[in-house]
Structure 1
Amino acid sequence: MQTSPNPDTPGSAVRIRKAASVLLLRQAGAGFEVFVQHRVNTMDFAAGMVVYPGGRVDPQDAQAVSRGEIPAQLMAAHALRWAGCSVAEADTEAQREENAGIVLAAARREVLEETGLLLDAQQLLPWANWVTPAGFPRRFDTYFFVAALREGQEPVHQTTEAVVSRWVAPQALFASLERGEIKMMRPTQRTLLDAMALGGIEQITAAQHQILSVHPDGTDTSSASPVRDSELCPRNF
């Protein structure tokens, strides 16, 4: 497990594509629930895994930024949070802010496409950044966000990439993982465990931890078995 800078060697044969993934959260009693998708087994990436809504950055996300759909002040704030990640690898502050706006626009679009829910851009908060290791046929530089849903905001299952989408308590999700009933990749587990460590939604959305790009080894990221804290780098919280 390594954090920034990217340890990959120059000339990697597989292009690393930027992507966005969103932990949609809602209050549930004294705790919270997270909205997850159970991906179909025929997908060419993360087949059969439990994931969050998300997908790769598309050209339309840059167009959304150009149209002014993402507030400039919000892009600037996100650029600061992503300072330890690849979006900060730009020559000018304006370019870094635009990069931050693009991944934010991608997160917002993917949630809309996969759940029918159009989030206020302000609801999407930077959370973590993980990069698929070298040696995989598809590689993603994934920007994870958290979003606490407001009253009346109800995501639905409307993606063909998953067999079902549902709300679930994190504790129940990890219990299913321990029993071997579901599979979750390391980044999915770690991002949720870090949210659980903070307690409730109020604490999660108030977090201002330093975000560093995480470059796991192939065993960490491909394994569907439960995470053990000793296997991974320390939390940034």
Structure 2
Amino acid sequence: MSEAQVKPDAKKLPLRPRDAASLILVDREGKDFRVLMGRRHMGHVFMPGKFVFPGGRADPADGDIPAAAELVGPDEQKLMAGMGARPTRRRARALALCAIRETYEEAGLFLGSPVGNGTKPASSHPDWEAFSARSLAPDLSALRYAARAITPPGNIRRFDTRFFIAFRDAIADHLPEGTGPSGELEELCWLSFADACSLDLPSITLTILRETEAQLRDSPALSPGLPVVQYKMRYGRFVREVI
């Protein structure tokens, strides 16, 4: 069907949010917690120049990648609870694996565990091949599901983003360049929460930063089954829910 044949009302339908995942990496070695932030390249159409966490759009094939360890039960259950009428473990895995893959792609960091020499690549995707080349497999047990945010209608991009938290000591290896192969994030830095909140951030990133800081105060060890905060548009206003 050509554009001229599309009904006018069809053009006005809001974009359907696409599954995405983001990883909030926290350094707990010093006196105060620090968080990893990076600035989006100015060439991006979506949020150019803003400081964000590593993350991106989920690839359904991520759900088939073998892991050194799986999501802990409470986190997997909460992920699946937000999937509507047909939740699947594969989709939950794909979201968590997406967060790990994007963290490598954008920050050059490998969250995983050794799986022995001579392992075959889990996927032809270059990011997962990089894990296999180091005899690493992604470790989902290091992730805690903490937040979800759905981009409101009217934006040029819409994502249904799940935010995970992991500690820096879950990093098994890193690229020597100090950044990821995609070049999408620049100026990667570990900052206190106060300093991170002073950056040029998207409003939802600032909100999730503050939620994460509060969760770490309540559960410094990030116990499984954290309260998950959800932000989405309802009846014309952004609402916060906790599950």
**TM-score, normalising length: structure 2:** 0.70
Between the aligned partners of 1:171 and 1:215, the Cα distance in structure 2 is 25
Of 136, 140, 156, the residue aligned with 1:121 is: 140
Q: Does 1:211 align with 2:228?
A: yes
Q: Is the 2:148–2:160 contact (alpha carbons within 8 Å) kept by the matching residues of 1?
A: yes
> Quick check: which one's helix share is greater?
1
Correspondences of 1:34-53 after superposition (within 5 Å): 34-53=35-54
Between the aligned partners of 1:204 and 1:233, the Cα distance in structure 2 is 28
Distance 1:151 1:76, change over 3 A: closer
Between the aligned partners of 2:28 and 2:80, the Cα distance in structure 1 is 30
> Quick check: which one's strand share is greater?
2
CA displacement at 1:152 relative to structure 2: 6.8
Correspondences of 1:1-237 after superposition (within 5 Å): 12-64=13-65, 68-69=66-67, 71=69, 74=71, 76-85=73-82, 88-91=83-86, 95-119=87-111, 120-150=139-169, 153=172, 156-158=178-180, 159-174=182-197, 177=198, 182-199=199-216, 203=220, 205-206=222-223, 208-216=225-233, 236=242
Q: Is the 2:24–2:36 contact (alpha carbons within 8 Å) kept by the matching residues of 1?
A: yes
Q: Is the 2:75–2:225 contact (alpha carbons within 8 Å) kept by the matching residues of 1?
A: no
The gaps in structure 2 that reach 5 residues or longer are 1-11, 112-138
The gaps in structure 1 that reach 5 residues or longer are 1-10, 221-231
Distance 1:143 1:108, change over 3 A: same
Q: Is the 1:128–1:143 contact (alpha carbons within 8 Å) kept by the matching residues of 2?
A: yes
3-state SS of paired residue (1:15)? coil
Q: Is the 1:20–1:144 contact (alpha carbons within 8 Å) kept by the matching residues of 2?
A: yes
**TM-score, normalising length: structure 1:** 0.72
Distance 1:199 1:30, change over 3 A: farther
Task: Report the more deviating stretch, 137-146 or 73-82.
Answer: 73-82
3-state SS of paired residue (1:82)? helix
- Greater relative contact order (Cα < 8 A, sep 6+): 1
Deviations 1:52-74 (A, max 9, x none): 0111001331332xxx3375x62
CA displacement at 1:105 relative to structure 2: 1.1
Q: Is the 1:37–1:162 contact (alpha carbons within 8 Å) kept by the matching residues of 2?
A: yes
Distance 1:28 1:210, change over 3 A: closer
Between the aligned partners of 2:240 and 2:173, the Cα distance in structure 1 is 34
What is the aligned residue count?
200
